[in-house]
Amino acid sequence: MHPKLNRILRHCRLFAFAGALAPAAFAQTTPAPAKELPPVTLDVFTVSGEKVESYQTQSVQMGAFRDMNPVDVPLTVDVLTREVLDAQLAKGLYDALRNTAGVTMAQITTSAYSNLAIRGIVVENRGNFRLNGSLPIINLADISMDDKERVEVLKGTSSLYYGFIPPSGVINLVTKRPTPYAIDTLILNGNSAGGVGGAIDVSRSLNLHNEKGLIGGGIRVNASASKEATGIDNYAGHREFQSVAADLNVGRRLSFKGDFEHLTKNVTEQDAIGLPAAVAGVITLPAIPSTTQNLGSDWMRYNAFMTNWWTRADFLITPNWTVFAEAGNARTHRYRLYNAFAFTNLATGAGNETVSYYPGQDYRNSNYRFETYGRFLTGPVRHDLDAGVTGNTRASDAPQQGTITFATNYFAPIQIPYAPAPISKVTHVPTRILDYGYYATDRLSAFNEKVQLIIGGRETEYISTTATTSYVTKNQFDPLISGAFKPTADSSVYFSYLKGLEAGGNAPAGTTNAGSILPPLTSKQYEVGAKDKLFGGLLVQLGAFQIERPSTFTDPATNTFAANGLARFRGFEMFTSGEVTKNLSLIVSAQDLDARQTKALNALTQNKTPEGTPRYTGSLFGEYKTAWKGFNVSAGAYYVGRRPVNSSDQAYIGGYTTFSIGASYRFKVKEVQYTLRVTGDNLTDKAAWAAAGSSLLGVTAPRLFKFSIAAGF
């Protein structure tokens, strides 16, 4: 039988199994009194649009823990709500994620998009970023916060639900939903570097014969446009974003949801600084440049287009069983003139600026999922059973058209004249990943849910193909087991063990094998922790974890991305979010991470810290409602410790702290509600190395004051 036909038939059998599982299990169990087994509702298992106005959330939308209270999730999960995003005037991804310890910039700055690492492990840009807990979106075009209700970070391994992804963690973007009341908001914004823009947020509800529960729902539109300026030399550009979210409820048993979003961004990417060559095994780092310096010229553009769509249908089979199907597609297309500086003389600052021409890089993800969920009892034990089948296809082509090198000076940069692409053949770098799997989890709870046990597993079929390599993994099983004891409804003590798979990693730009994919890797994770809600509104999470993961590195001798044995990441983490009092909201995070290369094919990396991994990170942000009604003030501090520049630890970039302040004032004039906000980031204009990895360095962003005025009609 043809392999593709066999795969289709196999998945048809899996769909049939998942669809039949719910009624079969329901029929084999004795119905329980309603007070012991709460009924399933469609609202529980869909993306919520409920407005809570808090620094903490009542549920998360992450993988196998979808719609669970954060206290019940047996892993570290950090949530940044809309209130946090608004208080900080967060526009891009790193603006939000700087509030959670262990998240750092990797390899390059955030001038074009946010390339990130969590717990020292790089976050894969095509698999670890999710929309509404499902669609893998492509983080290569500055993900917008305009239409996001909150950002969730589930740290560690999540392969059971999401397939082959690195154990750094999943970053989930939950979109704003239509509201039962009308929203008409106009926002004008700008910054001290000359950036200026505007945005709208409009929501309308649909209620036809709603008293009988026949048809209801709504639509929500977000859009923005801005002139981009951050204070970085030769950076200015523009950015536009549009999104539509729609909900439709047909009766009380069927609902539909969907999202569409489109972003364009055209700026000059701040150049990357190449590491100087090692001498006797030691790298001498260059002087830290000004935060505004960009050795590239304004014609070296980063022009990206991102389009995502996602849709989902939920059907309530019985009061205790539901089924849903969802599908989506993500595409990012970019034209990139990637510029990087390399020293020829560290003392004088002489060097070369190399521009790599990447015409029309294209990245596409398609995703589907079919899942059933239900509750039933076996004696005194309650089961929350979840089973499903999912498939993801990731295709890309990153064509290259050669490079041009210009002589310049690190300390006295010149204006580089425009140069067209070299007259050379375009080299295509196609890749394709097929990631299919079926999975099941069962959350068993007893003694009024004080004791909980989650067991689950996933069987996966994975195929990755490039022009020169192909890897096939079949019948790979990944387990999940966790347990928790809940002394109270708002506290828990837990443990968890997970095994995960990930693609071997994409060789980054600038390496000799850029764009190629290494063989798949298997990782293991152990975690213990405790969670508690204090003062009625402050969620405190403490966790200790260990991740064992096959590692990769860029060999400084050959500049080739390659496998390199086993690395161990062991650490302690704290995340606190919520309200201490009705007037004071806080987010506090801290991480102590001991990362070591325990087994190395390259002896130079044995027992060394993996590149770009800090021992200590932390953040503190607070907002206070003053006695002056409607007037709030805020302040924050963000610390990243020193990090090795490569996996041989031949040099370390220093630790640094940046500070922020903010204020907001809400008032009403007639029927219009106004909100004025002003924030300042990197108040001291701290110049430090903010990113390291792949033989590259990136500097902190310059001091920037932002302001906005929002009018709600």
The secondary structure of 88-150 as a DSSP string is TT--SHHHHHTTSTTEEEESS-SSSS--EEETTEEPPTTTSEEETTTEE---SS----TTEEE
pLDDT of residue 475: 83
Distance between CA atoms of residues 126 and 47, nearest Å? 22
How does pLDDT run across 656-681, given as a tens digit for each residue?
Answer: 999 999 999 999 999 999 999 999 99
295 pLDDT higher than 70: yes
Least confident range of 207-211, 531-535, 588-592: 207-211
CB half-sphere exposure, 485, CA atoms < 13 A: 3
Pair 328, 311: CB distance under 8 Å: yes
Q: Is the pLDDT of residue 8 over 80?
A: no
pLDDT range class, residue 621, cuts 50, 70, 90: very high
pLDDT of residue 211: 55
**What's the pLDDT at 39?**
81
**Phi–psi pair at 487, nearest 5 degrees:** -60, -35
Residue 101: both structure tokens together: 């310890």
Q: How far apart are CA 240 and CA 265, in angstroms?
A: 7
The DSSP letter of residue 495 is E
CB 659 within 8 A of CB 705: no
Domain count, the chain: 1
Q: Which whole number is the average pLDDT over 635-651? A: 97
Distance of CA 645 to the CA centre of its chain: 23
Distances (CA, A) of 387 to 72, 160, 201, 373: 19, 11, 36, 7
End-to-end CA distance of the chain: 62
Q: Are strands 254-268 and 272-274 parallel, antiparallel or unpaired?
A: unpaired
Mean pLDDT, residues 415-432: 90
d(CA 23, CA 633): 54
Question: What pLDDT digit, counting tens, does each position of 232-264 carry?
Answer: 999 989 999 999 999 999 888 999 999 999 999
Residue 432 has pLDDT above 80, yes or no: yes
**pLDDT level of residue 11 (50, 70, 90 thresholds):** very low
| Residues 81, 57 contacting (CB under 8 angstroms) | yes
Q: Is 70 exceeded by the pLDDT of residue 31? A: no
CATH code, domain carrying 394: 2.40.170.20
DSSP state of 70: G
Residue range 422-449: average pLDDT?
92
pLDDT at 3: 47
Strand-pair partners of 679: 662, 706
pLDDT above 90: residue 23: no
Cβ proximity of 497 and 526 under 8 Å: yes
Q: Residue 590 belongs to what domain range?
A: 3-537+546-712
Tokens 């939308």 belong to which residue?
Answer: 61
| Cα dihedral 119/125/131/137 (nearest 10) | -170
- 701 versus 518: the higher-pLDDT residue is 701
pLDDT tens figures, 36-49:
688 887 754 444 44
Which DSSP helix (H) or strand (E) runs through 678?
strand 672-681
Q: What does the pLDDT read at residue 556? A: 67
Using DSSP's 3-state secondary structure scheme, residue 160 falls into: helix
Output the CA angle 122-126-130, nearest 5 degrees.
95
Mean pLDDT of 414-441: 92
**Torsion on CA atoms 101, 107, 112, 114, rounded to nearest 10:** -20
Sign of CA dihedral 92, 93, 96, 101: negative
Output the CA torsion sign for 166, 170, 171, 173: positive
Higher-confidence residue of 435 and 550: namely: 435
| pLDDT above 50: residue 423 | yes
What is the per-residue pLDDT across 358-392, written as a single tens digit (0 to 9) for each?
999 999 999 999 999 999 999 999 999 999 999 99
Mean pLDDT, all residues of the chain: 90
